[in-house]
Amino acid sequence: MTASSSGLYNSTRPPEGQRTALTGGAVPVTVYGLGKMGLPLAAVYAQATGNVVGVDIDPDVVRTVNDGECHVAKEPGLPELVAEQVERGALRATTDSVEAAKQAAIHVIIVPTPLTDDREPDLAAFEAVLDSIAAGLTPGDMVVVECTVPPGTSRDLVVPYLESESGLSRSEFGVAFCPERTSSGRALQDITESHPKIVGGVDTEATRAASLIYGEITSNDVIAVSDATTAEAVKLFEGVYRDVNIALANELARIRDDLGIDVTEAIDAANTQPYCNIHAPGPGVGGHCIPWYPYFITSRVSAETPLILTAREVNDSMPAFTADTLRDELANAGRTIEGATVAVLGVTYRPGVAETRATPAAGVIDRLNEHGATVLAVDPMLDDDVVASFGATPVALGDLPSKSLDAVVVVTPHEEFDDIEWADFDDLVVVDGRGTLGDIGHRVYTIGGGPRRSGVSHE
Ligand SMILES: NC(=O)c1ccc[n+]([C@@H]2O[C@H](COP(=O)([O-])OP(=O)(O)OC[C@H]3O[C@@H](n4cnc5c(N)ncnc54)[C@H](O)[C@@H]3O)[C@@H](O)[C@H]2O)c1
Ligand SMILES: CC(=O)N[C@@H]1[C@@H](OP(=O)(O)OP(=O)(O)OC[C@H]2O[C@@H](n3ccc(=O)[nH]c3=O)[C@H](O)[C@@H]2O)O[C@H](CO)[C@@H](O)[C@@H]1O
């Protein structure tokens, strides 16, 4: 069977026949990008359809997958699912994207869409995938965009680009945006059941075909929105809501000293009212989603967006605020930050995820260095050279007690830090960025919570 006769876009088969073809392996799927999100997605597609090729530019990733192994850490169930799908011949990987595109009737794109230094969406990897798809596109194919893109990308970039590069007319292939709404550490669960799947096609037939596909991928609802641009906006609105909400929490944390209260206690109590859902303050907002997506919106609209941009500024100010708080707390303890030895705990942007993009730890370390501290950093998830690249001396967790520390800043509370024997350290000044430390017998200032020593407020 050729890809063109098996395609779902404008299929002449009745819907049940299309579903049977999809789940019976007669509609070949190619997933472009086998990273933290792409590999789980490819494995779920393989489980549902039995016929998936995964494409990645990284030969090590391709080799690992073809060996039935999983290069993505800390994703429950993923190693088993990848092994199972490779073993049964439902999933294989390749670096040959054009050949994979030629074989596919469904093309799923899940490659990085980062931000340039000028805060413009960087669609280079995405456009490279479009080149491959164009070389293999056949009538009836569906192109499903899962990675986050600026609003209008499917309509204004993907369709015209594929039309001009493939030689097909836009009425011969479908394009839909179906956002990945998944979080690292619970990818399989999120893809298959946690949230409704949003689908939006560039036309009604693309929306219909995408809805049919995702009806086989998730047990949750499939929500078809008006068009692809709406679906693109949905994903960005989720992210910008989180960013603005966290900025509010951070601004409230910054007025804590004026109010003289535990702001996190007030937030928790306020959140018992069902219409109130203030997020948690912290040392900053990291990762390659929440801090970047606001610019996917602001870079594409002519209207003013002061709230979105101010939220970014507030969140970006938190690493320096965190380091300055340590400086002030050391001063309150009669000590100086200049020459102090400070350990930063957690360099990744989130606990349990080996990802450092836009990590607040970078800004905290920079500011501590500016203040003249000697900065050490501990991160059990990262290699020493990665930690050192942020301007701190890497230290193993077990070696910390031998380092004559003056102070500690908890940026990202990995679970390994629960084992720290705080009694092994003399008289520390600690800034707890995430409010995860209990009574540790040292002087602790919690972002939002304020100063505390041995469980007693010491204002
Ligand atoms: N990680 C998340 O929490 C998350 C959640 C929701 C959505 N997303 C979206 O998914 C995208 C991918 O995220 P991720 O976490 O999987 O990224 P990742 O960095 O873990 O993996 C990306 C993979 O794509 C590969 N790649 C790069 N260019 C390629 C190309 N031209 N062709 C084929 N493969 C290529 C890389 O080698 C890598 O293996 C993000 O940019 C974002 O838009 C991510
Ligand atoms: C709600 C959710 O799960 N959204 C996800 C998000 O995932 P993520 O991996 O980026 O993680 P987040 O939890 O959003 O954290 C981002 C940064 O904000 C800090 N933070 C968080 C909450 C808070 O109250 N106060 C904070 O300060 C945190 O420490 C970290 O630095 O984006 C993905 C891609 O779009 C989504 O798919 C995915 O759904």
Question: Which pLDDT score is estimated for 6?
Answer: 85
Question: Which pLDDT score is estimated for 1?
Answer: 37
Choice among 17-21, 265-269, 326-330, 449-453 with the minimum mean pLDDT: 449-453
Q: Is 280 in the pocket of ligand 2 (CB under 6 A)?
A: yes
Q: Give tens-digit pLDDT for 197-211.
A: 999 999 999 999 999
Average pLDDT, the chain: 96
Q: Retrieve residue 246's tokens.
A: 């966290």
**Distance between Cα 290 and ligand 2 center (Å):** 6
pLDDT greater than 70 at residue 458: no
Residue from 99, 111, 181 whose mutation best tests the ligand 1 pocket (most atoms within 8 A of CB): 111
Q: Give tens-digit pLDDT for 202-247.
A: 999 999 999 999 999 999 999 999 999 999 999 999 999 999 999 9
**Distance between Cα 450 and ligand 1 center (Å):** 38
Q: Is 289 in the pocket of ligand 2 (CB under 6 A)?
A: yes
Question: Which pLDDT score is estimated for 277?
Answer: 98
Residues 82 and 101: their CA atoms lie apart, in Å, by: 21
Which ligand ends up closest to the CA of 238?
Answer: 2
Q: Give tens-digit pLDDT for 31-42.
A: 999 999 999 999
User: For residue 392, which of 367, 374, 416 has the smallest C-alpha distance?
Assistant: 374
- Ligand 1 atom at minimum distance from 128 CA: 31
Which ligand ends up closest to the CA of 362?
Answer: 2
pLDDT greater than 90 at residue 5: no
Q: Give tens-digit pLDDT for 281-301.
A: 999 999 999 999 999 999 999
**Distance between Cα 430 and ligand 2 center (Å):** 24
Domains of the chain (ranges, CATH numbers): 3-226 (3.40.50.720), 236-315 (1.10.1040.10), 318-453 (3.40.50.720)
pLDDT > 70 fraction of the chain, expressed in percent and rounded: 97
Task: Decide if the complex's ipTM is over 0.90.
Answer: yes
Question: Which pLDDT score is estimated for 2?
Answer: 40
Q: Compute the average pLDDT of residues 147-168.
A: 98
Residues 405 and 392: their CA atoms lie apart, in Å, by: 14
Beta strands 429-432 and 443-446, pairing class: parallel
Q: Retrieve residue 92's tokens.
A: 């294989």
- Ligand 1 atom at minimum distance from 126 CA: 31
Residues forming the active site: 235, 289
Which letter, b or e, does each residue of 293-312 get, where b requires 16 or more Cβ atoms within 10 Å of its Cβ? bbbbbbebeeeebeebeebb
Residue nearest to atom 22 of ligand 1 (CA): 35
pLDDT band, residue 454 (cuts 50/70/90):
low
Which ligand ends up closest to the CA of 53?
Answer: 1
More confidently predicted of 307 and 1: 307
Apex CA 22: angle with CA 19 and CA 26, to 5°?
Answer: 130
pLDDT band, residue 453 (cuts 50/70/90):
low
Q: Compute the average pLDDT of residues 402-424.
A: 97
pLDDT greater than 70 at residue 381: yes
pTM: 0.95
Q: Give tens-digit pLDDT for 96-146.
A: 999 999 999 999 999 999 999 999 999 999 999 999 999 999 999 999 999
Q: Is 32 in the pocket of ligand 1 (CB under 6 A)?
A: yes
Provide the Cα torsion 336, 341, 342, 346; round to 10°. Answer: 170
